[in-house]
Amino acid sequence: PGDHFGSPTQQIARYVAEHIFSKADFYLDLHAGGRSLFIQPSAHVVLTQTMAPDLAKANARLAEAFGVGITVQTSNMGDNRTSAGYTVTQGIPTLAAEMGMGGWVTGESVQATRDATRRFLKHTGVLPCIDTVPGVPTRWTRINGAQAYVFAPCDGFFERRFQLGDDVKCGQLAGLMHALARPELEPEPVYFRLSGTLYAHGLVGHVRAGQNLAVVTQDVLAP
């Protein structure tokens, strides 16, 4: 990722990749959701059929040590432009986490993140004698391709018909799209294309065509 001769951001990315990540034994990438998606607190690890078995095992053990209720397996779709995607391609055991749901910072989310980070640091031997609070057994899930996503079919207002954590079925109504510029039109139904658990959904009702409305995960066996 990055470019020595690109924009300032690209130059910084190239420096981090070459001079910081090259010295790393492990990588922990902490997030707090975002402005567009409301996400269940969870860990993310890259696990694919083609990666080195030792790296896959190390990533899985990081997730178990992190000890939050949900872990999402991802293939990263072969993209190494994210920091976590890049470190995995370099053979560095990596865990990313979404700990703030909608970009929020609360006392509860901060404490949960601190507790999980301490478990990570103890597991990796960075701080082997640190006191930790036990985590919880993690539920292993996966985002299985494009069918796991629900996108807005047009500009308008999305009236969702689900809650975070719901079990949903393929073909189930996800919500209704209202065309604000054409109030005489009937709302357009939007359906789930995959059965599973509602892992994340949009934060705003007023959306544009192609905007992500929901993400569905499916349970998988622990690696």
pLDDT tens, residue by residue, 146-173: 999 999 999 999 999 999 999 999 999 9
Which class would CATH give 8-142?
alpha beta
pLDDT tens, residue by residue, 87-114: 999 999 999 999 987 878 889 999 999 9
Predicted local confidence at residue 102, as pLDDT: 80
Q: Which amino acid is at 170?
A: C
CATH architecture of the domain covering 146-219: Beta Barrel (2.40)
Is-same-fold flag (8-142; 146-219)?
A: no
Predicted local confidence at residue 34, as pLDDT: 76
The answer to whether residue 36 scores a pLDDT higher than 70 is yes
Question: In terms of Cα–Cα distance, which of 50, 48, 99 is closest to 73?
Answer: 48
Predicted local confidence at residue 77, as pLDDT: 62
Q: Give residue limits of the domains in the chain.
A: 8-142, 146-219
pLDDT tens, residue by residue, 111-133: 999 999 999 999 999 999 999 99
CA distance 25 to 190: 45
CA neighbours within 13 Å on the CB side: how many for 219? 8
Q: What is the mean pLDDT of the chain?
A: 94
Are 196 and 133 in contact by the 8 Å Cβ rule? The answer is no
